[in-house]
Amino acid sequence: MTDPHIEKLAGKLIGLPLAELSPAEINERIAAVIGDADRDVAQAALDRAAEIMRERTAVALWHVETLRTISRLAAATGCPDDADVTEWLLGLGLIEPDGAGGYVVTVRAATRLV
């Protein structure tokens, strides 16, 4: 388990709105969060923030691939344009709720993928 202070700093770092800033402004914002933390703590916080972002990116990519697969399944099974895709595929047993508010493709669907 990571040190709670490092987790807190990492959480603040990943919450920084950096998209429209210059590199110098980004460095200023990061320095403001890290403050006077010693070098090891600062590096650990930066490393943890990077790790959290990699984890979040991996989850987002998994969701994108799942949505692509669901879209392909809907097309392959002739889902009507005005139908709810999830209801259609649930009815065919090709997807199921994942317990986290999304859906996963069932084993049965693997034979239908194009």
pLDDT above 60 for 113: no
User: For the segment 33-62, what is each residue's pLDDT rounded down to a tens digit?
Assistant: 999 899 999 999 999 999 999 999 999 999
Q: Structure tokens of 49?
A: 């923030």
Q: Is 1 exposed, middle or buried (0-12, 13-18, 19+ CB in 10 A)?
A: exposed
* CA neighbor of 70 nearest in space, from 13, 4, 114: 114
